[in-house]
Amino acid sequence: MGRFWRLVGAAVLALSGLFVLAQEEDDPVKEAEKQKKQLLEQSGGILPSDLFVAQGEQLFKAKRGPKNASLEACDFGRGPGKLEGVVGRLPRYFFDTRKVEDLDSRIRSCMINLQGFRPEEIRRSEVVAIAFYIASLSNEQPMTVRPLMPQEKRLYELGERLFYLRAGPRDMSCATCHVTYVGKRAGVLPYSDILKDKRAASHWPAFRYSNDQGWTMADRIRGCYTVLGMPAPDFYSEPIIALTLFMNVQANGVRMDLPGFIR
Amino acid sequence: MRRFYLPAVLLLLLGLASGQTGSSYITPELQRLIQAGGQSYASALLRQDPGQALCSTHRNRLPAEVLGPFIEEQRKTIRYPADGKLMGDWKQGDAIFNTLARGNCFSCHVGSPRNIGGNVGPSLEKYGQRGTSEAVQKYTYEVIYNTWAYFPCTVMYRFGHGGLLKPEEIAHVVAYLLDPASDFNTKPALRR
């Protein structure tokens, strides 16, 4: 008799375990934490994003390009060489380039202006690695993007307008999924809430365990356009910077989780 | 008469020359921003149609005075299969409904016995209970061809209008949903 009840107890425990597991998979944040833990155990404490960061640090500090210079003099908004927390203050206007720039395009500008690379020589994989390195120095810093300059205000407004623009053969806009159908599910994950969930925009660049790639916000935006049957805007182009500015402002105040680790 | 005609033509030519899209949502400033994203990106976005512009402007909640003419315009776009049959072959409809790169219907709707459904759209479980009357066939066909004729600005693709499915293919999907012999109606729906 006692053995029977022990068996029943074990079965009930196993079933409730399954139930909890099924529930956890519904929350993308918890699911990502689980995956992160698994990866850490398998690799002995190293995450793939750590490798991006290490590679980025090397690229950042090495003397490279026609001018044989490192990127250490690059100003990301807090002065040359000051990297702490800068990701939470981008995109912003820069006087030297006379443009509003995000993390990716600022790295590119410095590779061109400080190191002397020609635009066509800039490798995307290097920009992503450098972005991961810089992001690692902004971890747990607050997002504080305040469009105050006229150029920033203008780009913010255009970014918002672009966010709600419906177009293409599928009549899509960013807002269709990330405002109107927030929390609903078409496929694996529920849509993130760009306007209200400050975590949504504040974990880029991020490692994606589902495809084993390092993505910046630019890759995320381009991916959204592509899966909806529209051509993506060029890397480092104004539409990407405008959308990033709009979304980062929505995340103001949150402590950033960088580099992100997501599905 | 002629006096009015000439300025109108000049204005039109001026508009064409400056690359105006004709979309009321895309301001000249937004147009310049979009063009900075590259040629193929710009050509897709600047082709925004008047219906898309209205939904963008009103953030998908059309005011009463716009609603009537909007629905009227959407209805006008609907075309039917050449043979007039709104119910085709449910097996071909099955393939369209359950393929990501074709109809991709299952991603948003519960009801397929082959794929776990999403909840962006309403559940279509046992859709065939509605019968196969002409009215039900027509409604189902038209909602798939141009859903904005019934649900203005909703997320569902206007499959016929957008050129994503041909009229005959839409008729196959209608059959998949309505035919009493279809797997959709004889087998249980998969859900999470």
The Cα-based distances of A38 to A26, A29, A43, B92 in angstroms read 18, 14, 9, 42
Kindly list the structural domains of chain B, giving each domain's residue range(s) and its CATH number in brackets, ordered by start.
2-48 (no CATH), 90-186 (1.10.760.10)
The rounded distance, in Å, linking the Cα atoms of B154 and B42 is 24
Residue A64 CB: number of other CB atoms within 10 A?
18
Q: What band does A28 get if pLDDT is binned at 50, 70 and 90? A: confident
- Statement: residue B18 has pLDDT above 60: no
Q: Which two tokens mark A206?
A: 């991020």
- Statement: residue B22 has pLDDT above 60: no
For residue A80, the SS3 value is strand
Could you give phi then psi for residue B7, rounded to 5 degrees? -60, -35
Check residues A147 and A5 and name the one with the higher pLDDT. Answer: A147
pLDDT for the residue numbered A12? 54
Is A233 close to B38, i.e. CB distance below 8 A? yes
- Tracing tokens 């991006």 back to the chain, one arrives at A52
In this prediction, residues A111-120 reach a mean pLDDT of 97
A240 contacts on B by Cβ (under 8 Å): 37
Nearest-by-Cβ selection for A231 from B33, B44, B108? B44
Q: Average the pLDDT over each of A12-21, A71-80, B89-98, B154-163 and give the range with the smallest value.
A: A12-21
B190 touches chain A (CB under 8 A): no
In this prediction, residues A126-144 reach a mean pLDDT of 96
In this prediction, residues B102-126 reach a mean pLDDT of 93
Q: Residues 164..183 of A with a Cβ closer than 8 Å to B: which?
A: 164-173, 175-177, 180-181
Check residues A36 and B139 and name the one with the higher pLDDT. Answer: B139
| Structure ipTM | 0.85
Mean pLDDT of chain A: 88
Is A170 close to B157, i.e. CB distance below 8 A? yes
pLDDT for the residue numbered A17? 47
A238 touches chain B (CB under 8 A): yes
In this prediction, residues A195-218 reach a mean pLDDT of 88
A184 contacts on B by Cβ (under 8 Å): 118-120
Query: Nearest-5° angle of CA A49, CA A191, CA A210?
Result: 35
Kindly list the structural domains of chain A, giving each domain's residue range(s) and its CATH number in brackets, ordered by start.
150-254 (1.10.760.10)
Quote the minimal CA–CA distance from A185 to chain B in Å. Answer: 5
Q: Could you give the percent of chain A with pLDDT greater than 70?
A: 90
Closest CA to A240 of A217, A259, A224: A217
Kind and range of the H or E element at B140?
A: helix B134-145
Residue A187 is given by DSSP the state S
- Statement: residue A11 has pLDDT above 60: no
In this prediction, residues A63-82 reach a mean pLDDT of 96
The rounded distance, in Å, linking the Cα atoms of A26 and A24 is 5
pLDDT for the residue numbered A227? 87
